[in-house]
Amino acid sequence: MLDLVLEKLGDAHFMAFLLAALGCAATAVTVVVPMLQTDNLSRRIRAVGDERERIRQRERERLNAKENRNQLRQRPSNMLRRLVDTLNLTSWLSTETAKQTLAKAGFRGAGAEYAFVAGRLLAPIAFAIIATVYVFFVAHWQQPVAIKLGAVMAAVYLGVKAPEIYLRNATQKRQKSLERAYPNTLDLMLICAESGMSIEHTVRKVSSEIGIESVEMAEELTLLAAEMSYLQDRRTAFENLNARTGMESMRSLTTVLIQSERYGTPLGAALRVLSQESRDHRMNLAEKKAAALPPTLTVPMILFFLPGLFAAILTPAVIQINSWN
């Protein structure tokens, strides 16, 4: 059998026919195999595009539902209005900056102000009742009455501060969301501005697109577009945006918009510089957090890693010494 194979390999005509057959087979495979394979890349691109459109549509519906629920300006209920107006709570529980603070937290309209004032009245009462029931009837503390009354008074003070603490936390959470979506908002505005769109259409388009990332930013831009439509001076709308957010980055954006509106400077170039500065600022913050990480981890490493490391190193030596003894 081996001799026959060697004889065929030495035959020039047989080798020519074999190479020709291999070439024909390779040509057929090269032509037929791509026709049999499906276009996975195009199919995946279409699937990604369809999924992106579904996500965008879902986020838009969620944004519209939230806007319809909140209506961007909350209306007061009749019970809260009667309570606040009857007791005249606005004059002695509301603060001068309450409306601005509520706007920074995302609560607008008379309904939010009525709810805040009523909350400042009802929260101490609720905290006092809960603390009294717990301290005197549930906990069974073996403490003097003065200490129990002090605990109740501390709960009342906490109830007084609870609405302010809630507003502060809501404001910080909202500003964090706005700050996170700010660079992408600038990029979208830059694209729209350089494509030739007006500032009104730019703000309206960006407000509909940025809602996927940040509903809060979409709300602010929607309000800006609405105020630009009915206010006589656009500068007032830009200043209102700065007052509602209370952020340094938004102040820079409103300054750029005001200068572009007043002096006619190119908006695209200014937005490009502002976008680069915002991303550099975010990178600097990330580097600052990374630089502060080693000192922060020093104490946890000393408390949690070193005891285990010493135990792993010294335990075999201790066992060996005890075995010798």
Task: Please state the three-class secondary structure of 104-158 as a single string.
Answer: HCCCCHHHHHHHHHHHHHHHHHHHHHHHHHHHHHHCCCCCCHHHHHHHHHHHHHH
Give the whole-angstrom CA distance, residue 78 versus residue 148: 38
Structural domain harbouring 95: 73-170
In a domain, 67, yes or no: no
Give the whole-angstrom CA distance, residue 117 versus residue 221: 28
In a domain, 44, yes or no: no
Provide the residue type at 71 as one letter. Answer: Q
In this structure, the answer to whether residues 183 and 154 fall within a common structural domain is: no
In this structure, the answer to whether residues 217 and 275 fall within a common structural domain is: yes
In this structure, the answer to whether residues 279 and 191 fall within a common structural domain is: yes
Is the Cα dihedral 149, 153, 158, 160 positive or negative? positive
Judged by DSSP in three states, 98 sits in helix
Q: Tokens representing 324?
A: 């010798």
Q: Tokens representing 34?
A: 């791509």
In a domain, 61, yes or no: no
In this structure, the answer to whether residues 244 and 258 fall within a common structural domain is: yes
In a domain, 307, yes or no: no
In a domain, 53, yes or no: no
In this structure, the answer to whether residues 201 and 151 fall within a common structural domain is: no
| Rounded alpha-carbon distances, angstroms, from residue 290 to 279, 285, 297 | 16, 9, 11
Give the whole-angstrom CA distance, residue 320 versus residue 79: 79
In this structure, the answer to whether residues 180 and 220 fall within a common structural domain is: yes
Give the whole-angstrom CA distance, residue 142 versus residue 270: 68
Domain count, the chain: 2
How confident is the model at residue 121, as a pLDDT?
A: 78
In this structure, the answer to whether residues 135 and 158 fall within a common structural domain is: yes
Of the residues 139, 170, 201, which one is the last residue of a structural domain? 170
In this structure, the answer to whether residues 143 and 214 fall within a common structural domain is: no
In a domain, 130, yes or no: yes
Residue numbers of the chain with a pLDDT score lower than 70: 1-15, 31-97, 109-110, 325
Q: What pTM did the predictor assign?
A: 0.62
How confident is the model at residue 275, as a pLDDT?
A: 85
In a domain, 296, yes or no: no
In this structure, the answer to whether residues 137 and 81 fall within a common structural domain is: yes
Q: Nearest Cα to 107, choosing from 84, 81, 76, 85?
A: 76
Give the whole-angstrom CA distance, residue 83 versus residue 253: 41
Q: Write the pLDDT tens digit of every residue in 104-116.
A: 888 876 677 777 7
Of the residues 170, 202, 224, which one is the last residue of a structural domain? 170
How confident is the model at residue 92, as a pLDDT?
A: 47
Of the residues 128, 147, 170, which one is the last residue of a structural domain? 170
In this structure, the answer to whether residues 150 and 238 fall within a common structural domain is: no
In this structure, the answer to whether residues 263 and 180 fall within a common structural domain is: yes
| Rounded alpha-carbon distances, angstroms, from residue 317 to 304, 308, 311, 312, 325 | 21, 15, 10, 10, 12
In this structure, the answer to whether residues 152 and 185 fall within a common structural domain is: no
CA angle 176, 269, 218 (to 5 degrees): 30
Question: Average per-residue pLDDT in the chain?
Answer: 78
Q: How far apart are the first and last CA of the chain?
A: 77
| Rounded alpha-carbon distances, angstroms, from residue 129 to 48, 134, 146, 160 | 55, 9, 17, 14
In a domain, 323, yes or no: no
